[in-house]
């Protein structure tokens, strides 16, 4: 199923759940990412909590 994401085709990847609606890759009517893969990273030297991780594939709409 193909969905529309601000005029762009967005095919939800049901392996990547996402609730960040201001990301360009978010499939608007479903809480999934439209990318095939994502990169997860950190902004900490020694991450110890979930808050220390980041989706480095994020792009602002």
Residue 12 contacts residue 29 (beta carbons within 8 Å):
no
Classify residue 33 by burial, with Cβ atoms within 10 Å: 0-12, 13-18, 19+: buried
Q: How far is CA 19 from the centre of its chain?
A: 8
Backbone angles phi, psi at 60, to 5 degrees: -65, 140
In a domain, 20, yes or no: yes
- The structural domain count of the chain equals 1
Which stretches of the chain drop beneath a pLDDT of 70?
A: 1-9
In a domain, 60, yes or no: no
pTM to 2 decimal places: 0.77
Residue 10 pLDDT: 87
Residue 9 pLDDT: 67
């Amino acid at each position: 199923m193909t969905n529309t994401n601000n005029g762009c085709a967005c095919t939800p990847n049901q392996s990547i759940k996402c609730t960040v609606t201001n990301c360009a890759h978010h499939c608007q009517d479903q809480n999934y990412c439209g990318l095939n893969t994502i990169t997860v990273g950190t902004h900490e030297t020694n991450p110890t909590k979930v808050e220390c991780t980041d989706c480095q594939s994020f792009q602002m709409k």
